[in-house]
Amino acid sequence: MDSIKALLIFVCLISAAACKEAPDKKKRITSEMLLEMNKKMVAVEANVIEQYIADNDLEMQKSGTGYYYRLDKRGTGDTIRNQDVVTLAYTTRLLDGTVCYASATDGLMEFTVGRGHVEAGLEQFVQMLQPGATAKLILPPYLAHGVSGDGNKIPKLAIVIMDIEVLEVQRSRVSP
């Protein structure tokens, strides 16, 4: 979490430095500047996650969109696809180990893939799984709850870890 605080301080310092110039020399924040700042934030988040993985001796793979995952048990049957209704047992925690949500206390998670009602990274990842699969997933903020958190237990800019088990998949009647 200290790395995320450092990132926020870094962003604030960059913004403050831009504002300290003489009024006639103030730089206008451009989309290119915002894009560059976003790239730096993503790189810092990736470094924090990779350090966590190394510190905890985890073997994880990185997806093309930036989440990290480990498949602990393969499921059976067809792979989950868009519009399927998925039921998961899960535990969601922060990097410091704080449990935010868990099916044991909060109930099972059920959602329709492709509707955007869960973390983007989770929705992407489950489409690699079959019923019965178990896995660990680490989501950077931009694939989890973003800049604002969830307004409840997940803080702003939080990296989240999810342990999931696919309990049931109700197949969509819509063609893929």
pLDDT in tens, 40-69: 999 999 999 999 999 999 999 999 999 999
Q: What mean pLDDT do residues 6-23 have? A: 53
| Per-residue pLDDT at 19 | 55
Give the pLDDT score at 28.
87
Q: Which domains does the chain have, with CATH numbers?
A: 2-55 (no CATH), 61-170 (3.10.50.40)
Question: 116: which 2 tokens?
Answer: 């955007």
Give residue 29's pLDDT band: very low, low, confident or very high (50, 70, 90): confident
Inter-residue contact 67 to 124 (CB < 8 Å) = yes
What does 105-171 look like in DSSP terms, one character per residue?
HH--EEEETTS--S-HHHHHHHTT--TT-EEEEEE-GGGTTTTTTTSSSSPTT--EEEEEEEEEEEP
CB-CB neighbours of 31 under 10 Å: 7
Neighbour-count burial for 67-100, b at 16+ CB within 10 Å, e otherwise = bbbeeeeebeeeebbebbebbbbbbbbbbeeeeb
Helix, strand, or coil here: 68? strand
